Amino acid sequence: MNQYIRTISGGARSASLAGLVAAALFTGCAVAAEAGSQDEVLNNIRPVGQVNVGEVKAEPASAPAPAAQEAGAAPAAAASAAAGSGRSGEQVYNGICKACHSVGVAGAPKVGDKAAWEPRAAQGMDTLMQHVTNGLKAMPPKGTCADCSADELKGAVEYMLKQTGL
């Protein structure tokens, strides 16, 4: 029995010693890793951007480019600025309106369905624009295009009417 107790106590000592060695090793690793990990964690949770709720400061105007001072450059620049100021009716239709008006979701008149569009077109463009701007039945205001201007929305309506043959 005495030998049995010695064997158990020797095994317990070995296990305790192995546990202490392992704890010492892992503690050293954890401390070394913590310094690098904390920087990585802070980098990972760093905000991507910041919201500025203050006034926007105007930047000083720069001198016009010499090419823009040419006589022919002014009309061309004005025309390109007007053309680039908004999306075409087709672009708005393809990006927003098509999702519902191509298949008739929730009673939306399908593009090309003259019978569905004629009574609406007969109400006039002002009424159509009120429906587009404020929404009608299942159609949300602006057809979910919150950033569309009135001209872009009107262009989309005109595009749909034209594609329908009206």
Q: Supply the Cα-derived Rg of the chain in whole angstroms.
A: 35
The better pLDDT of the pair 12, 93 is held by 93
Which tokens is 67 given? 């090419």
Domain that residue 1 falls in: 1-45
Between 58 and 94, the higher pLDDT residue: 94
> 39-71: per-residue pLDDT in tens?
888 888 888 777 777 776 666 555 555 444 444
pLDDT tens string 118-129:
999 999 999 999
pLDDT band of 28, cuts 50, 70, 90: low
Q: Is residue 12 assigned to a domain?
A: yes
Residue 76 has pLDDT above 50, yes or no: no
Return the structure tokens found at 10.
Answer: 């020797």
Listed residues 45, 61, 76: the one ending a domain: 45
Which of 45, 63, 78 is the C-terminal boundary of a domain? 45
Q: Which residue has the higher pLDDT, 19 or 105?
A: 105
SS3 114: helix
Q: Is residue 101 part of a domain?
A: yes
**Mean pLDDT, residues 89-99:** 91
The domain that holds 160 is classified in CATH as: 1.10.760.10
141 or 51, higher pLDDT: 141
- Are 109 and 97 within 8 A, CB to CB? no
**Whether residue 41 is found in the same domain as residue 94:** no
Q: Are the C-beta atoms of 89 and 149 separated by less than 8 Å? A: no
In a domain, 68, yes or no: no
Distance CA 100, CA 135 (A): 13
pLDDT (0 to 100) of residue 130: 92
- pTM beyond 0.85: the answer is no
b/e burial code for range 146-164 (CB count within 10 A of at least 16 → b):
eebeeebbbbbbbbbbeeb
**Mean pLDDT over all residues of the chain?**
76
Is there a domain that residue 59 lies in? no
Say how far apart CA 141 and CA 131 lie, in whole Å: 8
Domain count, the chain: 2
State the pLDDT confidence band at 14, using cuts at 50, 70 and 90. Answer: confident
Mean per-residue pLDDT for 9-25? 73
